[in-house]
Structure 1
């Protein structure tokens, strides 16, 4: 592998000049920097980042800590951040925590030891004290979730307003028995979404008839089992609001496998607008979340902070709104009642069955 000495020897200049040129030192002319870069590329020179970091330089790495890369919510954010940071000369390093605060802390230790330029984190419910200290020593920003112990810089979605909007939609359709299935209220997102559901029902008859299923972990299996429990109630809900992407997948799988007629038997409002949700059954009414746009805005803001020699760590919060997309999975109760009556008549309701028994 070629070294800075090899580049210097070929160009007959000093090694220090090569080093300054490759680090874009303004004391070296643009023409010389370009010639050095061309020769370095020709010889296959790769900068020794470890040596540079030993001299006090930061790496061009930015860590991204997310709970689960399989969740489209987070993979979309990771993709947008990667493109944004790459354009700014930084490389994104993806770290999966599984919402385990011990794993989260271990990733932060590694990023700190690698002299990462900064960290973008979707925090766990209760980060360890060491994690708090490590993040305080690096440039960092919270994404999608917010934990007060980690500072006041964050980019998030208005989760409370989003679920409030979904619940109001069902109330407007005449539903009074409305269920909610969501993630852990120990997380800022889970707590805000549950609060949005309760706020929308406050003062209505539906508030007395509502049923809730919340708790970790947020997964498709949690969605499936929660739906089974809600529908087994003596007075099951006629509509449900979902508070996570993975839970939405689970509920849709269970509804399909259990032959639940949507929206005749149950109206559903999902969370996030994955491509498959548009094709599922009658089309899923859901909350479209501006995750890609939010992540890009976060990345641009973070790049500005990285390139500022003396950043100001004043409180900064960006909140984006979700949009309700109405498709075929929700229906007004009066239409549901008419549909059920038509099905009963077509299949031979109680009166028809009695008439058949009396026929000779």
Structure 2
């Protein structure tokens, strides 16, 4: 084959530019850790040599930035929204996304090394109740960037995280119930120490105290963000000598559990009990009646997390370690004026 017809290789381009093959590869992959003058030279030589990346062999994976999204609990409606946001952003940016569930990490060092060996460029951890300093140190040693979505705990303040305005959401949910005349309002949330749960709880308490109606004893309860917890804690508060006329649930799944506990006691929603959730997942719209809830932009949070993870993997600096996206109260049919119960 004549020399002029041979396909140019990375080595050919690297030799012409006087740089390493690794540097040419970085330019091809859009990495930011290449000097502008070097990038310009390499790009010019790639065009001059009419470089065409070789097609992968059958069964050989295509090289791409791959980000792993890890959950530490089984998937639910909340998880689905996050995954959709990450996958959509990945498709737009040409990045691969791998989704996994890791309920227990006994050997953080091996776990981190395995992620790198599998070709992961960054890790997105969702809720991550079990995230601890040993795991963070292991990721740091292998230089694998981490972004956390809706963190349940933050071992380090400088940890990069994506969340929403949880305090404002809790405030809006409670103010909505107060505006309907409710004063006996209970809060059923997630883990007591969870960062997002604490913010929603503080919003609830701030609204109640501003109205001069502090929560009654037994009106604040914590569990997990799961249906069964809503069912159990909902039953507990509804069986109090002075039960609430409204309940603010820390997530939609908990709210549905509360709904079932209310129905089991012959209570009508919203005539006898108003309920507000948090997240605005698909189950909020499918509930009967449709659930009033605080919309947490879960898909947008997933997209922001992926873009942030890729920027960190490319060595770029980010403007803030913590980003909060705005929440919004969505009023549906599960809340009504407290007077409805008196006149029905």
TM range (shorter): 0.7 to 0.9
After TM superposition, list the pairs within 5 Å mapping 1:142-153 onto structure 2: 142-145=148-151, 147-149=154-156, 151-153=158-160
1:73 correspondence with 2:78: yes
1:114–1:80 CA distance, 2 compared to 1 (3 A): same
> What SS is found at the alignment partner of 1:179?
strand
1:78–1:107 CA distance, 2 compared to 1 (3 A): farther
CA drift of 1:278 comes to: 2.5
1:324 match: 329
Structure 1: tracts of 5 or more residues without a match: 1-7, 50-58, 340-360
1:46 match: 60
Distance in 2 separating the partners of 1:30 and 1:250:
65
1:280–1:200 CA distance, 2 compared to 1 (3 A): same
Distance in 1 separating the partners of 2:208 and 2:331:
20
Distance in 2 separating the partners of 1:80 and 1:242:
24
After TM superposition, list the pairs within 5 Å mapping 1:193-342 onto structure 2: 193-209=200-216, 211-307=218-314, 310-312=315-317, 315-339=320-344
1:214–1:65 CA distance, 2 compared to 1 (3 A): farther
Considering fraction of residues, name the structure with more helix.
1
1:240 touches 1:266 (CA, 8 Å); kept in 2? yes
Distance in 1 separating the partners of 2:223 and 2:48:
56
Larger of the two Rg values belongs to structure? 1
1:138 match: 144
> What SS is found at the alignment partner of 1:28?
helix
**CA offsets, 1:90-130, max 9 Å, x none?**
211212234x5659887544313435211122353453332
Aligned residues: 315
1:299–1:138 CA distance, 2 compared to 1 (3 A): same
Structure 2: tracts of 5 or more residues without a match: 15-20, 29-41
1:89 correspondence with 2:123: no
1:289 touches 1:323 (CA, 8 Å); kept in 2? yes
TM-score (norm 1): 0.75
After TM superposition, list the pairs within 5 Å mapping 1:47-196 onto structure 2: 60-98=65-103, 100=104, 102=106, 107-125=111-129, 127-136=131-140, 137-145=143-151, 147-149=154-156, 151-196=158-203
1:208–1:299 CA distance, 2 compared to 1 (3 A): closer
2:9 touches 2:51 (CA, 8 Å); kept in 1? no
1:280–1:122 CA distance, 2 compared to 1 (3 A): closer
2:38 match: none
Distance in 2 separating the partners of 1:222 and 1:316:
32
When structure 1 is superposed on structure 2, of 86-95 and 286-295 the one drifting more is 86-95
